[in-house]
Structure formats: C-alpha cells, structure tokens
C-alpha cells in the first residue's frame, strides 16, 4: 500500500491523535543546535503537531496483532459460475507470491499502515524537500538517524528508507518526499543483521 499526498484527512480522528506507532527501538529524536535548528523550524513549522512516539506505541500495542501473527492471506481470484463467461475486458487479480503482502506479518502490516500515513502527512507541505529537511522532519517524528538509510536527492525528490524492524518483524518503509507527489510504501527488510537498502523487497 502506498500513501500519496492526497490531502485527505487521516483515517480516523483516533488515528490523527495516535496516528503512528514508533518502535521502542527508535528512541527519541536527537537534538540539534545552530543552523540545524533553523532547518528543523522551517521543515516542520507548517504542519500540525504529530502524535508522540509514546502515543503511537500505545496505539500499536492496543490495536495491532501480536508479534509473529501470520499475514492476512489475500483472497484468491474468484472463478465465474459454471456456464457463465467472464466479461472480455475483465481483469483477474493475481494473488501476490512475494513482497510486503505475503512477507510481512500481520503486526508489521498494521503498524506499517500507521507509519506510512503519519510520515506522508508530515512531508506533504514540505517545500524543496532536500535530504537535510527530510531528515529534520523524520527526526522530529522520532525516527533516529540510525533508522534512516540511503537518504538521497534526485531532482525535486528525496528518497529514503526507514528500518522499522522490531520483535522479530521485517518492516521497513520506502519513501519519496516530493511535495504533492510524496509516496510512502511498505517494504520488507532482512530478518536479521544490519539493514541494507539494496536487500529490501518492495
């Protein structure tokens, strides 16, 4: 699932208040001094305060499946009833065999949707999304530098990855900060070892 910059309200009022759960392993945002403070103020000054990491974590613990819960299996494509031909232009969905839909457990899928929404909303109105500004927003949301990977700018877009693995999960996020075209998608990180952006599956 991707969360695009549609300027729609958050999924629910509760999600607005508790929108995304950050991992206990993410810690708290690092403080900055000097010029970095000015960048942070510019990057986050135009948006509403996001839920705290404590609120996010509490919401995930209360609302998402327990660690290790199997993924929800996507429904199989339905065949037409006997004697009935499907429409010529009918597109039959293909059940995925790899990627986040089948490789992330149910807890990761639930938490990932909350992280996607929270981050996309925070990046929507960012003018000139440079790596420095994107990092400032991610830090302000509580994602520490050790969790942010491969932060690079190409034209008007800054790409980044977030390592959100916890409790045996494999959740990561693949983000592109580009103003109105911002996209945040779930991805699959290696089960163990250091996070390497080139190893994740989309």
Position 81 scores a pLDDT of: 60
Task: Read off the tokens for 99.
Answer: 């990627």
d(CA 44, CA 63): 28
70: CB partners within 8 A, 6+ apart: 105, 106
- For residue range 84-98, what is the model confidence (pLDDT) as tens digits? 666 666 565 555 556
pLDDT above 50 for 118: yes
Q: pTM, whole model, 2 decimals? A: 0.66
Position 33 scores a pLDDT of: 39
Stretch 157-180: mean pLDDT: 94
Position 1 scores a pLDDT of: 47
- For residue range 37-48, what is the model confidence (pLDDT) as tens digits? 444 445 444 455
């Amino acid at each position: 699932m991707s969360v695009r910059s549609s300027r729609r309200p958050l999924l629910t009022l509760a999600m607005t208040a508790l929108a995304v759960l950050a991992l206990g392993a993410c810690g708290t945002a690092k403080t900055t001094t000097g010029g970095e403070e000015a960048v942070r103020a510019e990057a986050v000054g135009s948006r509403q305060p996001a839920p705290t990491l404590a609120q996010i974590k509490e919401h995930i613990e209360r609302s998402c499946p327990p660690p290790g819960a199997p993924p929800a299996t996507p429904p199989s494509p339905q065949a037409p009833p006997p004697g009935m031909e499907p429409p010529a232009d009918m597109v039959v969905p293909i059940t995925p065999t790899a990627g986040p839909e089948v490789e992330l457990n149910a807890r990761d899928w639930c938490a990932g949707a909350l992280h996607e929404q929270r981050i996309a909303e925070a990046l929507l109105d960012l003018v000139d999304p440079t790596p420095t500004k994107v990092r400032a927003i991610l830090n302000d949301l509580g994602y520490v530098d050790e969790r942010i990977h491969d932060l690079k700018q190409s034209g008007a877009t800054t790409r980044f990855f977030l390592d959100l693995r916890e409790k045996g999960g494999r959740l990561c996020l693949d983000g592109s900060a580009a103003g109105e075209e911002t996209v945040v998608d779930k991805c699959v990180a290696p089960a163990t070892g250091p996070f390497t952006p080139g190893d994740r599956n989309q």
